[in-house]
Structure 1
Amino acid sequence: MQEVAWSSWEFCKVSAGDNWHPDRIKAFVQSYQEAGGPCPREEYVHFIPFIRWRLRKELRDHEMAIAQGLPGEPEYAARLLGAFERLRTIPIQLF
């Protein structure tokens, strides 16, 4: 489910990278289910938490790179934070 959730984020997010297209996400999940994807329906309660977990990881990795002297990307970090906050308001049970 973790990989399905993150893949849906990557394939269905808006070009700004801080939100997703609701119609695309539903189509993505529906296609996955129709193709026989092995994740049972009861695991979909973890969908949003997994995406938020990965966004936190991406932000931590970004901050660690800055701490090691690499240049940061403030716009990237802002998009991650925006997405993290936005997903907080989406009901966990989407599907």
Structure 2
Amino acid sequence: MEHKFCQSCGMPLTTDNKGTNADGSRNEDYCIIASGPQTPRVGGVIMIKSDNRALVDSIIAQDPFNINGIADYRIVEFTPTMFVESSLSDILK
């Protein structure tokens, strides 16, 4: 079985973290690191690893909350410098 890796971070891609295109096909140019609701439930967070801002914008454009006009988005770019585990450094940098 051939393993595929994120073109941005090198992380092995699985059906859980590989990006999805609008047509349902899988995209190897980004990976979703984590996502979920905020606490209290006033919004949510999607953590995406990608070197392509236009691609991130297109991901947001495809999000059901965006399509249905029930969410506003603020994209925050950051460079992580501290990690709870050293293996995360390879994934997030």
TM-score, length-scaled by structure 1: 0.30
Structure with the larger helix share: 1
Name the structure, 1 or 2, with higher relative contact order (CA <8 Å, separation 6+). 1
